[in-house]
């Protein structure tokens, strides 16, 4: 053996192999980095497609056990997934307010928000002074309120449209009286940070508002662009479900013999832990969504609002700590602009809906932390709060919203991989 | 993949059919898989990992967790007890298998195994075999039956050896 290694031909071959390997690794790294940066928009659809496939694996395995061939079970699953996505897209499209509804919503939201803010701070009354809270917080809160109002201000075009679709009430027809009262009250609003100036005068009303602009820019090209990027997701989903272990085998074939069994065991343990975490997260999200939907309907939110807020809050709930606050904040914001409350609980009315909305958010969090999380997720993936916050900020900085949403699952995966590798390396006497 | 790349698939099929056939024939001759049909052997082959070892390389060490069993495709291995000097227990050749007890329990390896000359092995991971037990219980049952037979044979050999030793130890007393 020693003689063979001293052979100059063998030595030259070994040298060539080393060069070949170094150049290959460098090329792969350079190409990988280039692709990562140039195809950033494709990363999320690919990751989500793989994650969905991973979560769906037990379903295809179950179907195979029932005698359905793999290809057919994958086609059935992908078909169901596409059909559900299509149905959800139509449902969401029908539920989203059209241009007229948006104008109405802006008028009502602006009035309710300012009305509640003024009532809370004891403003707008000539005989009494603002309360202590206003004295303490006005410097910070007033500019925020002015900015929100500037966002909700109707443009000249929107004002004309408002007058056309909601005719001014007359003595005989008082249908739009309440809405017009709100609109006129909005027109009289003054800047909180500078009470001498009328709000509508301070804002350039000729420019189209953000809400109105977004409606006009929702053209075909934007949809097609999004569609073509997200088309990658079902493709990745399909091929990852169809793969019968070839990817895993290829990866394992790269490991040196010394690490072979350790790699197999680590992959299995990581697979079990991550699979349980991801499936648990999906089930927990569903449970939180259903609880939100029921609770919000009970306190008097409309079905559409309950559905959207419940869904958004449940998805945000994937982010520990921050997600919980986001859910409560969503309920609070909607309650602040809510016009009509039709609760089955008699004590809830438009005066106290804000308090009940916050209580509803807190109640769902309580149920989630006391029942769903311990029973569905367990404590296997507990992360330190500081680590959660840092990873969420880092994720957001790198990949925006999707980075925020997937930061914690990614950290959990990394944590499980490191823990398992460390344990297995010790078990196989590779490290002490 | 066949749907996407039929040309590559065809080339693959032309060149690999003969190879796969000889592979499956080889594995049908392995003691553990003798009860399996050709179709079942092919299903099992999908679980196998190809591992190539240099001369004197350890496949596993005594005391490590046993998570896979091996079939010698080419070459030979030495089963040894580690110590100041390696004590040879057995030498296994092409077609033999070792580490098959790992599919029964999670106990650590009872001996070390190292290769003799350049060796090619096929490994089956316990986790994959457990999954096979759920998806293809017939294949798993046939293999378990063979494992039981192998253990039975080894037990008989060990008993005979033990009996011989006991008799040999008893002889000087006479």
Domains present along chain B, CATH in parentheses: 6-168 (2.60.120.10)
How confident is the model at residue B19, as a pLDDT?
Answer: 54
How confident is the model at residue A211, as a pLDDT?
Answer: 44
Can you point out the beta strands (E) in chain B? 49-53, 58-60, 68-81, 87-92, 97-98, 112-125
**3-state secondary structure (DSSP) of residue B76:** strand
Q: What is the pLDDT of residues A321-331, one digit of tens each?
A: 778 888 899 99
Tokens of B53: 């070892």
How confident is the model at residue A289, as a pLDDT?
Answer: 94
pLDDT at A214 over 50: no
Confidence category of residue A310, pLDDT binned at 50, 70, 90:
very high
How confident is the model at residue A209, as a pLDDT?
Answer: 47
How confident is the model at residue A402, as a pLDDT?
Answer: 78
Virtual torsion, Cα A152, A144, A112, A332, nearest 10 deg: 110
Tokens of A11: 């030595």
**3-state secondary structure (DSSP) of residue B59:** strand
Q: Name the percent of chain A lying above pLDDT 90.
A: 9
Mean pLDDT of chain A: 82
pLDDT at B53 over 90: yes
CA–CA gap between residue B122 and residue B74 (Å, rounded):
10
How confident is the model at residue A90, as a pLDDT?
Answer: 84
Task: Write the CA distances from A52 to A249, A253, A275, B87, integer angstroms.
Answer: 21, 26, 11, 52
Confidence category of residue A234, pLDDT binned at 50, 70, 90:
confident
- Give yes or no for B43 touching A (CB within 8 A): no
- Give yes or no for A431 touching B (CB within 8 A): no
Q: Do residues A113 and A337 lie in contact, with contact meaning Cβ atoms separated by under 8 Å?
A: yes
**3-state secondary structure (DSSP) of residue B108:** strand
Burial of A370 (0-12, 13-18, 19+ CB in 10 A): exposed
How confident is the model at residue B91, as a pLDDT?
Answer: 92
CA–CA gap between residue A329 and residue A249 (Å, rounded):
47
Tokens of A127: 């005989």
Confidence category of residue B4, pLDDT binned at 50, 70, 90:
very low
Confidence category of residue A295, pLDDT binned at 50, 70, 90:
very high
Question: Which of A179-188, A363-372, B111-120 holds the top average pLDDT?
Answer: B111-120
Q: Looking at CA atoms only, how far is residue A314 from chain B in angstroms? A: 34
Confidence category of residue B121, pLDDT binned at 50, 70, 90:
very high
pLDDT at B18 over 60: no
Q: Do residues B60 and B111 lie in contact, with contact meaning Cβ atoms separated by under 8 Å?
A: no
The pTM assigned to this predicted structure is 0.69
CA–CA gap between residue A174 and residue A428 (Å, rounded):
82
Confidence category of residue A237, pLDDT binned at 50, 70, 90:
confident
How confident is the model at residue B75, as a pLDDT?
Answer: 94
Confidence category of residue A203, pLDDT binned at 50, 70, 90:
confident
Q: Is A260–B55 a contact, with Cβ atoms under 8 angstroms apart? A: no
Burial of A4 (0-12, 13-18, 19+ CB in 10 A): exposed
| B residues 68-127 closer than 8 Å to A (CB) | 68, 123, 125, 127
Question: Which of A87-91, A180-184, A289-293, B38-42 holds the top average pLDDT?
Answer: A289-293
Which has the minimum average pLDDT: A29-43, A154-168, A264-278, B16-30?
B16-30
Task: Please tell me which residue of chain A has the smallest CA distance to B117.
Answer: A1
For residue B67, give the nearest of A61, A261, A429 by CB distance: A261
Are β-strands B87-92 and B112-125 bridged in parallel, bridged antiparallel, or unpaired?
unpaired
* Mean pLDDT, residues A312-337 taken together: 86
Q: Looking only at Cα atoms, what is the longest distance across chain A? A: 111
Backbone angles phi, psi at B74, to 5 degrees: -145, 145
Chain B residues in contact with A252 (beta carbon < 8 A) = 49
Q: Is B123–A260 a contact, with Cβ atoms under 8 angstroms apart? A: yes
How confident is the model at residue A285, as a pLDDT?
Answer: 92
- Give yes or no for B134 touching A (CB within 8 A): yes
pLDDT at A355 over 60: yes
* Mean pLDDT, residues A277-285 taken together: 87
How confident is the model at residue A97, as a pLDDT?
Answer: 73
CA–CA gap between residue B42 and residue B27 (Å, rounded):
9
Which has the minimum average pLDDT: A89-103, A211-225, B15-29, B47-61?
A211-225
- Give yes or no for A264 touching B (CB within 8 A): yes
Chain A residues in contact with B56 (beta carbon < 8 A) = 1
Q: Do residues A407 and A394 lie in contact, with contact meaning Cβ atoms separated by under 8 Å?
A: yes
Q: Is A427–B58 a contact, with Cβ atoms under 8 angstroms apart? A: no
Confidence category of residue A5, pLDDT binned at 50, 70, 90:
low
How confident is the model at residue A35, as a pLDDT?
Answer: 82
Q: Do residues B136 and B43 lie in contact, with contact meaning Cβ atoms separated by under 8 Å?
A: yes
- Give yes or no for B6 touching A (CB within 8 A): no
């Amino acid at each position: 053996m020693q003689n063979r290694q001293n052979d100059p031909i063998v030595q030259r071959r070994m040298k060539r192999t080393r060069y070949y390997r170094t150049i290959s690794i460098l090329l792969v790294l350079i190409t990988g980095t280039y692709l990562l940066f140039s195809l950033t928009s494709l990363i999320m659809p690919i990751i989500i497609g793989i994650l969905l496939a991973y979560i769906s694996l037990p379903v295809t395995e179950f179907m195979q056990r029932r005698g359905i061939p793999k290809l057919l079970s994958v086609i059935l699953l992908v078909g169901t997934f596409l059909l559900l996505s299509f149905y959800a897209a139509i449902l969401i499209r029908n539920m989203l307010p059209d241009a007229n509804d948006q104008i109405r919503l802006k008028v009502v939201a602006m009035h309710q928000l300012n009305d509640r803010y003024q009532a809370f701070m004891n403003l707008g009354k000539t005989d009494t002074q603002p309360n202590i809270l206003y004295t303490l917080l006005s410097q910070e809160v007033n500019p925020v309120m002015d900015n929100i109002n500037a966002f909700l201000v109707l443009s000249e075009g929107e004002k004309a449209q408002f007058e056309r679709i909601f005719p001014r009430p007359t003595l005989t027809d008082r249908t739009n009286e309440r809405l017009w009262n709100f609109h006129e009250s909005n027109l009289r609003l003054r800047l909180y940070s500078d009470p001498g100036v009328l709000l509508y005068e301070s804002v350039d009303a000729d420019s189209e508002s953000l809400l109105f602009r977004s409606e006009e820019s929702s053209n075909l090209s934007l949809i097609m662009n999004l569609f073509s990027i997200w088309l990658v997701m079902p493709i990745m989903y399909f091929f990852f479900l169809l793969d019968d272990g070839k990817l895993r085998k290829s990866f394992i074939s790269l490991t040196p013999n010394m690490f072979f069994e350790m790699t197999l065991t680590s992959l299995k343990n990581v697979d079990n832990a991550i699979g349980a975490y991801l499936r648990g997260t999906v089930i927990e999200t569903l449970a939180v969504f259903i609880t939100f939907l029921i609770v919000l309907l009970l306190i008097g939110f409309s079905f559409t609002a309950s559905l959207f807020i419940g869904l958004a809050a449940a998805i945000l709930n994937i982010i520990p700590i921050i997600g919980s606050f986001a859910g409560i904040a969503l309920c609070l914001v909607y309650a602040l602009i809510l016009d009509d409350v039709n609760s089955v609980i008699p004590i809830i009315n438009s005066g106290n809906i804000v308090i009940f909305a916050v209580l509803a958010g807190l109640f769902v969090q309580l149920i989630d932390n006391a029942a769903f999380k311990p029973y569905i997720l367990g404590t296997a993936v507990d992360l330190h709060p500081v680590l959660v916050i840092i990873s969420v900020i880092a994720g957001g900085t790198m990949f925006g919203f999707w980075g925020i949403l997937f930061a914690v699952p990614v950290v959990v995966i990394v944590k499980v991989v490191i823990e398992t590798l460390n344990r297995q390396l010790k078990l196989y006497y590779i490290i002490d | 993949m066949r749907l996407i790349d039929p040309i590559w698939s065809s080339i693959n099929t032309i060149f690999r059919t003969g190879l796969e056939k000889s592979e499956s024939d080889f594995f049908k001759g392995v003691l553990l898989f003798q009860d399996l049909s050709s179709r079942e052997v092919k299903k099992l082959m999908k679980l196998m990992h190809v591992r190539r070892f240099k001369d004197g390389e350890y496949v596993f060490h005594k005391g490590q967790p046993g998570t896979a069993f091996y079939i010698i495709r080419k070459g030979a291995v030495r089963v040894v007890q580690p110590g100041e000097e390696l004590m040879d227990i057995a030498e296994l050749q092409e077609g033999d298998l070792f580490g098959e007890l790992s599919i029964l329990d999670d106990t650590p390896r009872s001996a070390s195994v190292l290769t003799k000359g350049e060796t090619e092995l096929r490994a089956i991971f316990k986790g994959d075999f457990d999954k096979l037990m759920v998806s293809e219980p017939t294949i798993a049952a046939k293999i378990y039956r063979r494992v039981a037979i192998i253990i039975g044979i080894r037990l008989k050999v060990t008993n005979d050896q033990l009996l011989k030793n006991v008799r040999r130890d008893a002889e000087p007393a006479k």
